[in-house]
Amino acid sequence: MKIKHIIGSLMIVFLFLYGCEGMDDNYKQYVGEYNYSGKIDSLRVYPGYERVVLAWDNPKDQKSKSIRILYGPDSTEVLYPSMVDSVSIEGLDAGTGYEFIVYTMDSHNNLSVPTSITAFPISKNFVDNLTPPSLVVDVVNNEQVLSVIGTSNVLMTFSGLINITISNANGVVSSKNLNLKDKVITTDPNTGAKKINALNNLTIPVKDLGLSLIPPGEYTFNFTVSVWPLMGNQVSIDEVELDNQITTTVTPIIINITKMGGVVSDKFNTTGDEGIAKLTDGNYDSKYLTGNRETWVKFKTNAPSIVTRYKLVSGNDVPERDPLNWKLEGSNDDSNWTVLDTRSGIKFPLRKQLLTFEFNNNTSYQYYRMTIQNNGSNLFQLAEWELWGPRLN
């Protein structure tokens, strides 16, 4: 019995020692992988101009006390003594891809499991190769405007700021900083989410530059447009400025004077659904129709204007009612008239057809009258009459 007890005791001791040795081996197996502090989560990167911004979610454990970041081919080290959750890494080389490795550390500087991400900062060379927008003087809805073309493309998107300086031989005509960020960044009223709108072209009324009109002449336009460079599908967090200079000759701005307002009348005071008011309503589908072969139509402008061209639009039916022969006259007192243009034998082959007629004139008149004979019918019709000329102010 004693031998059996001894043998049994020896077996227990052996099993205990074996179990301890196994536990020690198991412990040694995991010593190198023990995390002294928690791993960061959701590491993300935002490219900037020769820099990047890193952001992440910190662990919830109580051991993590600081942040360590390694990056670049030389494993540059950056230490942050607190648990920051976003940093800006500055002074990065042009166009180089960087791997960033982020650790947390405990109070004894033991490292967590690393988290890494690759980023490409916006380089100076990249910015220098962006094509700056161009600019032309244009007319939209009778308003003189500056059309800035190419503010956004696959490599950049307009960020909302533009500076324009206009000068001529006498010096600076206008200089203005414009902030259009409210058009670039909009907010969804339902979700509150911000959205960047890529504005490829800008239309800037000259009145926004403090001018009523850029008179004819040679001008130099110096302009700076701010953009966000694009790296793949990511928008840079930094704005950069693109400069351009354009010298151009501004020609007279030809506008639709009838659209500037006035009073239209005719020889017979024609009213109704096809009365004289339809002649200048801007609608090619309506028309002026009167029960006579010959008539005159007159337009009194709100202010004296120079007319150098006019446009006529034929009616929707019966070509015999179209204008055939006419004369255009100008007056400043509605009594004394000066003949400006005469036409005869004009045919409108198509219905609702627009024909344009130009002539030389440098004199302002407040009244314009066209005396007309039709093509042979006992009715006269015309869908539209437009007077055009240079904008004077």
Is residue 244 domain-shared with residue 265, that is, in the same domain?
A: no
* Residue-level pLDDT at 234: 87
Q: Is 19 part of any domain?
A: no
- The range of the structural domain enclosing residue 268 comes to 256-390
Predicted local distance difference test score (pLDDT) of residue 58: 96
CATH number of residue 267's parent domain = 2.60.120.260
pLDDT at position 201 is 95
Beta bridge partners, 354, equal: 313
**The last residue of a domain, from among 222, 251, 280:** 251
Closest CA to 53 of 77, 69, 41, 37: 69
Same domain, 158 and 217: yes
Q: Annotate the chain with three-state secondary structure.
A: CHHHHHHHHHHHHHHHHHHHHHHHHHHHHHHCCCCCCCCCEEEEEEEEECEEEEEEECCCCCCCCEEEEEECCCCEEEEECCCCCEEEECCCCCCCCEEEEEEEECCCCCECCCEEEEECCECHHHHHCCCCCEEEEEEECCEEEEEEECCCECCEEEEEEEEEEEEECCEEEEEEEEECHHHHEEECCCCCCEEECCCCEEEEEHHHHCCCCCCCEEEEEEEEEEEEEEECCEECCCCEEEEEEEEEEECCCEEEHHHHCEEEEECCCCCCCCCHHHHHCCCCCCCEEECCCEEEEEEEEEEEECCCEEEEECCCCCHHHCEEEEEEEEECCCCCCEEEEEECCCCCCCCCCEEEEECCCCCCEEEEEEEEEECCCCCEEECEEEEEEECCC
pLDDT averaged over 10-residue windows placed end to end, the chain, 393 residues: 45 44 45 70 94 95 94 93 96 83 95 94 92 95 94 96 97 97 92 91 95 95 97 90 97 93 97 97 97 96 97 97 97 98 96 97 98 92 97 84
Residue 381 belongs to some domain of the structure: yes
In a domain, 23, yes or no: no
Domain termination site, one of 193, 228, 251: 251
The CATH number of residue 197's host domain is 2.60.40
Q: Both 379 and 262 in a single domain?
A: yes
Assess whether 241 and 297 both reside in one domain. Answer: no
Of the residues 195, 228, 251, which one is the last residue of a structural domain? Answer: 251
- Examine the domain organization and report whether 136 and 216 are in the same domain: yes
pTM: 0.73
Tokens of 318: 């019966």
Q: What is the pLDDT of residue 95?
A: 65
Specify whether 290 is located in the same domain as 367: yes
For residue 51, being part of any structural domain is answered with yes
What is residue 94's predicted lDDT score, i.e. its pLDDT? 64
Domain of residue 55, CATH code: 2.60.40.10
Q: What per-residue confidence (pLDDT) applies to 97?
A: 86
On whether both 292 and 384 belong to a single domain, the answer is yes
Number of domains in the chain: 3
Same domain, 245 and 227: yes
On whether residue 139 sits in a domain, the answer given is yes
| 2 found inside a domain | no
| The pLDDT value given to residue 390 | 93
Query: CA angle 241-246-251, nearest 5°?
Result: 140
Assess whether 268 and 363 both reside in one domain. yes
Q: Is residue 6 part of a domain?
A: no
Assess whether 221 and 346 both reside in one domain. Answer: no
Q: What are phi and psi of 324, to 5 degrees?
A: -120, -50
* 58 and 84 share one domain: yes
Query: Are 244 and 357 part of one and the same domain?
Result: no
Structure-token match 């990056």, residue found: 71
Tell me whether residue 197 is in a domain: yes
